[in-house]
């Protein structure tokens, strides 16, 4: 059930079938020269929608902005702070809790380490406040890691490469602008680089070349199945 498309009466009726909600997080962030800035958000929202067709679950509109540390100097990236992201997680989830939701799946199409840590930290604090709540926190990369061997051929593919290009060729082919060269960032180990763009000029982490629309369809269907299984685990989780 997509929250923005149902009435309050439909919402009330839906609570008789589920008290689980998917909260998708994305970003407005560079994705090479060939993918749109909204790739993460498009991916995660379409995945949530696909999952809602497999099992009863509410899906809220995606949070479009994320914490973008490594890409903040790339053209087009628009990020928010950790404090803002945590506040959004807390406010949205507390409001949903007041409406009767109890199982929260916080899934992000943007998988940056500091971004995910902020979501996790906010969720961890909410568990202490909301007695009946359960939380699962994960990123798209966690689901990609669960894909069967051979689906993705590029080792270490993580950003604007084979996976995301395949997904966008399937989900929004009209927004794919050719391709970009294979690339992996070369950030110095342990050292925080001031000029991040110098170590990752093309904004690709992987290889877009093997991407196909058919592979994108396969990936999102497999991701939805894995996410559905996680939701079942969350709904049955007891401590």
Structural domain harbouring 128: 3-235
Between CA 116 and CA 43 the distance in angstroms is 16
Question: DSSP letters along 128-166, please?
Answer: HH-TT-EEEEEEHHHHHTTSPTTS--STT--BSSHHHHH
Query: In sequence order, what are the beta bridge partners of 205?
Result: 159
Indicate whether 239 pLDDT > 90: no
Answer for the pair 39, 161: CB distance below 8 angstroms, yes or no.
Answer: no
> Number of folded domains in the chain?
1
Average pLDDT, whole number, for the chain? 97
Of 50, 49, 37, 44, give the one whose Cα is nearest residue 78.
Answer: 37
Q: What is the pTM of this model?
A: 0.97
Domain of 129, CATH number, reads: 3.40.50.10310
Give the pLDDT band (50/70/90) at residue 31.
Answer: very high
DSSP character for 198? Answer: G
pLDDT above 70 coverage of the chain, percent: 100
Element (H, E) at 13: helix 8-14
- Work out the number of other CB atoms within 10 angstroms of the CB of residue 233: 11
- What does each C-alpha distance from 223 to 3, 141, 147 come to in angstroms? 21, 10, 8
C-alpha angle 101/107/113, rounded to 5°? 135
Indicate whether 207 pLDDT > 90: yes
Tell me the CA end-to-end span of the chain in Å, nearest whole number: 28
Kindly report, residue by residue over 144-188, the tens digit of the pLDDT. Answer: 999 999 999 999 999 999 999 999 999 999 999 999 999 999 999
């Amino acid at each position: 059930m997509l929250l923005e498309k149902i009435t309050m009466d439909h919402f009330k009726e839906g609570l008789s079938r589920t008290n689980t909600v998917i909260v998708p997080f994305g970003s407005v962030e560079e994705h090479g020269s060939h993918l749109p800035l909204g790739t993460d958000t498009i991916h995660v929202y379409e995945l949530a929608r696909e999952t809602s067709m497999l099992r009863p679950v509410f899906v809220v509109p995606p949070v479009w902005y994320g914490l973008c540390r490594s890409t903040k100097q790339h053209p087009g990236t628009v990020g928010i702070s950790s404090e803002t992201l945590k506040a959004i997680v807390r406010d949205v989830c507390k409001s949903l809790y007041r409406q009767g939701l109890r199982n929260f799946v916080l899934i992000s199409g943007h998988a940056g380490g500091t971004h995910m840590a902020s979501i996790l930290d906010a969720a961890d604090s909410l568990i202490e406040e909301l007695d009946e709540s359960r939380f699962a926190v994960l990123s798209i990369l966690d689901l990609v890691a669960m894909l069967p061997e051979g689906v993705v051929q590029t080792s270490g593919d993580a950003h604007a490469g084979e996976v995301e290009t395949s997904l966008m060729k399937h989900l929004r082919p009209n927004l794919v602008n050719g391709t970009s060269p294979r690339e992996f960032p070369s950030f110095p180990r342990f050292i925080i680089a001031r000029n991040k763009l110098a170590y990752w000029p093309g904004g690709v982490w992987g290889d877009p070349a093997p991407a196909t629309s058919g592979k994108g369809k396969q990936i999102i269907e497999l991701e939805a199945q894995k996410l559905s299984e996680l939701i079942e685990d969350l709904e049955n989780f007891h401590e």
